[in-house]
Amino acid sequence: MKSGKDGEYYYVTIESDEELEKLKELTLKKVKG
């Protein structure tokens, strides 16, 4: 998974689908402001 922060990219490895869903929710909240 690729996630951007301040124009930089870093990779995050998610081992559990539950963690992935939580990360997606957090990402959507950040994007929507």
Please state the three-class secondary structure of the chain as a single string. Answer: CEEEECCEEEECCCCCHHHHHHHHHHHHHHHHC
Residue 9's pLDDT is 46
Domain boundaries, the chain: 2-32
CA distance 10 to 32: 21
Beta bridge partners of 9: 4
The pTM assigned to this predicted structure is 0.37
Q: Give how far Cα 23 sits from Cα of 17, 31, Å.
A: 10, 12
List pLDDT tens digits, range 1-33: 455 554 454 445 556 678 778 888 888 887 776
Residue 6's pLDDT is 47
Residue 30's pLDDT is 79
